[in-house]
Amino acid sequence: MANSENNIDEMRRTVRSFVRREGRITKGQKRAVTELLPALEIDLDQTLPIDMNALFGRDRPVTIEIGFGDGGALVAMAGAEPEVNFIGAEVYRPGVGKMLLGLEEQALTNVRVFADDATALLAQGIAEQSVDRILVYFPDPWPKKRHLKRRLIQADFAELVANRLKPDGVLHVATDIESYAEQVIEILEACDVLTNSLANTVDSPYSPRPLWRPETKYERRGTRLGHSVFDIIYRRR
């Protein structure tokens, strides 16, 4: 895995899967980032890899959501599964603020936040075979052909994720872009330690939406546009 992680570090210096579109941040979101984030934020300057028991103050299963957007799904999952430790990674500050406000409103204490590139979190902060689920819901599809290399799900990224999952750990990707779904399947099928799980039939690589995944804002937008939604669930062997 060392070579794969070095490759990812090199790639991320020149190609990123996101653009920082800060947009308008409300007073409430700004307050949340200023007042609430410091107590929950993961710092990669600490001793690494992260000690999850120390981070959360308890020993529980760990789920990481990459690119949580406005945080609606993350807050819903954290509320529905209080026995799970959640880490959310997101670069969009207004989204981070909105998610933090949701945690505050529901008095949830089982979420920690990485407000930067999730690839750095996985590569530097997460120990091998330490995570139960990694969730990537409606990542930026980068639909133009010249931008396909910016898509988050690439071969090196899949290998890194697989290395961080515990045996039988879950990688769950959801997208409403069929070409991206097809690309994800191709990439994950090529990863030796991952195997498809929960497919509808032997003829389909896609899964029904599991109970743990709430409907997201991007999903609703895609549905309004007439898009199908593709849930892709793989497990580490």
Q: Which residues are catalytic?
A: 140
Per residue, the 3-state secondary structure of the chain, as one string, reads CHHHHHHHHHHHHHCCCCCCCCCCCCHHHHHHHHHHHHHHECCCCCCCCCCHHHHHCCCCCEEEEECCCCCHHHHHHHHHCCCCEEEEECCCHHHHHHHHHHHHHHCCCCEEEECCCHHHHHHHHCCCCCEEEEEEECCCCCCCHHHHHHCCCCHHHHHHHHHHEEEEEEEEEEECCHHHHHHHHHHHHCCCCEEECCCCCCCCCCECCCCCCCCCHHHHHHHHCCCCCEEEEEEEC
